[in-house]
Amino acid sequence: MIYYSTKRQAEEASLKKALFKGLPEDNGLYMPEQIAKLPQSFFDNIGEMSFQDIAFEVTNALLGEDVPAEEIRKIVDEAVNFDAPIVNVVDQIYSLELFHGPTLAFKDFGARFMSRLMSYFLEKGEKLHILVATSGDTGSAVAQGFFGVEGIQVTILYPKGKVSPIQEQQLTTNGGNIKAVEIEGTFDDCQKLVKEAFLDKELSEALNLTSANSINISRLIPQSFYYFNAFAQLKREGYKKVVFCTPSGNFGNLCGGLIANRMGLKVENFIAATNANKVVPVYLKTEIFQPKPSTATISNAMDVGNPSNFPRLLELNGNSFEKLTKKVSGAYFNDEETRKTMKTVFDETGYVMCPHSAIGYQALQDYIKEQGGLGKKTAGVFLATAHPVKFVEIVEPVINQKIDIPQRLQDIIDRPKVATLLPVDYKLFKEYLLSEVEAV
């Protein structure tokens, strides 16, 4: 399969190139030239298929030209080794819980899949070094996702004192092929060091450096699996149609849904829900796309003022605003509304949501009201993007109740932290990398 850039100024790429390069030279985004439709038999049988079987069929349709079926089976079985159940919250509204993976957020799907696909494409004996700067969530998903993957080493930079204690544990307790570097500076300083390393030809070639950027095409593919799998679960409950609501920041998760839709999954409507960083909901109303500096909110994983996957939303809809808005509507909420939703839903149903998921719930409720209700055979599904315990300091005071810590998180909290402390100094950082990392 050929991958082209959404800006159409860069050379076309193979899957391997798009995977390792991440970004085309023209700063567009890679897209596959074709998105295959799945056969009707797939949708007829989907109710009887396991999550892994669904993931296999979807991946095989998208990547089958480039990766043999038995390898796809292995990649998928390792990447999708935890569930994404739907949970009924109220009436016809379901929560699609995407937080049963190792770092308790949906980014585990993308990181686990990307790592295994990269490992497959490495030549025998070839080594790859992933360098990431993180402000928290992406880094922990990448650290966990690449843990133990053959041929790949990972170095994660994070700003000292500026990630949550749980996130720091998730970044610094992996060991093995994962190294954590604590930088005496801000997230921007971390990013600058990483950028400089990539531009440093000598270093970049010596270590075979690659990023694990969230715009990597390989992260979108697994983010379509759970839309199909949610539909399979709904089918078993007797539903025929679905509305999905996706809490969004960079809009990669929503792109996963739109890919599923292009592959033939029937979706009545998508709702793109954001916090105060509302450039996309505003765009969907006005056709004016106006990126802004980001605003800090309690749903901080969605604090994005210039969503990186925005061009893909259009690209997946034939670059037609009309087509896009026929399928996708927008909504946004401030922190006060988000807190109110978390509280009301907890008081009325006992269901606990993280702030991001609460935004998804509220947007879905409002949509259903506007429509005057859902059809009898239609379910509304919001994506629960993180476990509420990840945002415990926000959620507990709102619902006035302690949240249980899942065992897999407790295990991480109990492990000793290992990180190297460095100042914001490129020379020292380079020396560290050259001494710590096996050259290739």
Ligand X SMILES: *Cc1c(COP(=O)(O)O)cnc(C)c1O
Interface residue list for ligand X (CB under 6 A): 105, 107, 137, 247-253, 301-302, 356, 385-386
Rounded distance between C-alpha atoms, residue 432 and residue 429, angstroms:
5
Q: What is the DSSP letter of 21?
A: H
Query: Which is closer to ligand X, CB of 160 or CB of 390?
Result: 390
The letter for the amino acid at 434 is: L
Q: Is 106 exposed, middle or buried (0-12, 13-18, 19+ CB in 10 A)?
A: buried
E strands, 230-361, are 241-247, 269-274, 328-332
Q: What angle do CA 134, 111, 127 make, to 5 degrees?
A: 90
Nearer to ligand X by C-beta: 301 or 433?
301
SS3 (DSSP) at 1: coil
Rounded to whole angstroms, the Cα distance separating 65 from 209 reads 27
Closest distance of CB 89 from ligand X, Å: 17
Report the C-alpha gap between 358 and 303 in whole angstroms: 15
In this complex, which beta carbon is closest to ligand X, that of residue 153 or of residue 299? 299
Report in angstroms how near the CB of residue 29 gets to ligand X at its nearest.
13
Whole-angstrom Cα distance, residue 238 to residue 256? Answer: 24
CB of 247 to ligand X, least distance (A): 5
Q: Which is nearer to ligand X, 120 or 146 (by Cβ)?
A: 146
50's tokens: 């396991």
In angstroms, what is the minimal distance from the CB of 172 to ligand X?
19
The whole-angstrom distance between residue 209's C-alpha and the CA centroid of its chain comes to 22
- Residue 355 in contact with residue 66, Cβ under 8 Å? no
151 vs 360, beta carbon nearer ligand X: 360
Compute φ and ψ for 288, nearest 5 degrees.
-105, 120
Q: Which token pair is 84?
A: 């994404």
CB of 383 to ligand X, least distance (A): 8
Task: Supply the minimum distance, in Å, between the C-beta of residue 2 and ligand X.
Answer: 25
Complex with ligand X: residue 273 or 422, whichever CB lies closer: 273
In whole angstroms, the minimum distance from the beta carbon of 12 to ligand X comes to: 25
The 8-class DSSP code of residue 316 comes to T
Distance of CA 309 to the CA centre of its chain: 11
Which CB sits closer to ligand X, 159 or 256? 256
Nearest approach in angstroms of CB 356 to ligand X is 4
> Which residue reads 């799907």 in tokens?
109
Nearer to ligand X, 243 or 374 (CB): 243
Helix (H, G, I), strand (E, B) or coil at 129: strand
Dmax over CA atoms of the chain, in Å, equals: 64
Nearest residue (CB) to ligand X, 153 versus 246:
246
Distance of CA 315 to the CA centre of its chain: 19
Question: Which C-beta is closer to ligand X: that of 67 or that of 279?
Answer: 279
**Nearest distance, CB of residue 170 and ligand X, angstroms:** 12
Cα distances from 281 to residues 29, 273, 289, in angstroms, run 21, 7, 10
The least CB distance from residue 411 to ligand X, in Å, is 21
